[in-house]
Amino acid sequence: MATEKHASTPWRTPGLAVVFLFLFAAGAQAELRVAWTNNLLTVSGSNLPGGRLEIWYLEAFCRSGAHDRNWGQTTLPHRTTLLTNEDNRVLRFRTLVQTNVEVNHVVTAGADEIDFRVTLVNHGRDAIDLQWFQPACIRVERFTGRVQSNYTARSFIFTERGLTALDKTRRTEEALYRGGQVYVMPGVDNADANPRPICGDRPINALIGCFSADGKQLLATASDSTHELFEGVYVCLHSDPRVGGLKAGETKTIRAKLYVLPNDVNALLRRYEADFPAKR
């Protein structure tokens, strides 16, 4: 979607009015909050359409060979506990995965982003086949003003053609489970992908996002170790990180971001490249 550009009008009378408006804008921007109950992470803010964004957090931890296998045989049992909530700005969690894997994660709300820091540790004596996980099922019905049948027209990834609406990608339908679309990252084996249909296009970066109903904002998410991007079956978007297995005693860390920005795609790309320079 194109971003409208308007010529700015210079202030004619600088002074207290300008200072007041600057402080008001800064205060209005720094309003994102996070809360978590019953595995549902809620992001709230006056700038969010409908006032909030709901995220199923955390959804699943997955073994290799997922694409042609029953989902129940792919997922590893896990249980998440909220440890602390610092003024709905910083949430700290511990997740236990199949007994021996401990996942400590911190979710921090900023002015226009949510930051995720994840540390996975295998405390066991054996390697764990934990290849990837689904931390955040981001439900975008309110944000896009669309439903399952048409939200893909307002959602996007980046392909060799540039920003590409999901309904314009080379979509497929055949898979063990119908519905949705999987965008497998370069270098990832399709056999390890989600058992939903695999798109003919591969992303060129780790971003997946959508535009707001009024066209004024965009939402996007990415991580520094991405297994796949995923368009789900609940009007949702995923950026699912890759772990690549955990040896006995091994520790791995992963970073992710969720951006809520004005509708400026070039600004989003600059922000992404600054946050994840190794992914350029």
pTM beyond cutoff 0.85:
yes
Does 20 score more than 50 pLDDT?
Answer: no
pLDDT tens digits along 221-248: 999 999 999 999 999 999 999 999 999 9
Q: Which pair of tokens denotes residue 76?
A: 């590893």
Nearest partner of 94 among 42, 36, 33, judged by Cα: 36
pLDDT tens digits along 210-219: 999 999 999 9
pLDDT tens digits along 73-83: 999 999 999 99
CATH number for the segment(s) 32-279 = 2.70.98
Distances (CA, A) of 75 to 23, 118, 133, 245, 256: 48, 19, 9, 14, 21
- Residue 50 banded pLDDT, cuts 50, 70, 90: confident
Give the integer Cα–Cα distance in Å for 56 and 160. 30
pLDDT tens digits along 90-122: 999 999 999 899 999 999 999 999 999 999 999
Confidence (pLDDT) at 188:
97
CB atoms within 10 A of CB 212: 21
- 222 bridge partner residues: 257
Nearest partner of 109 among 197, 36, 50, judged by Cα: 36
Confidence (pLDDT) at 279:
61
Alpha helices in the chain (DSSP H): 16-29, 71-74, 141-144, 265-275
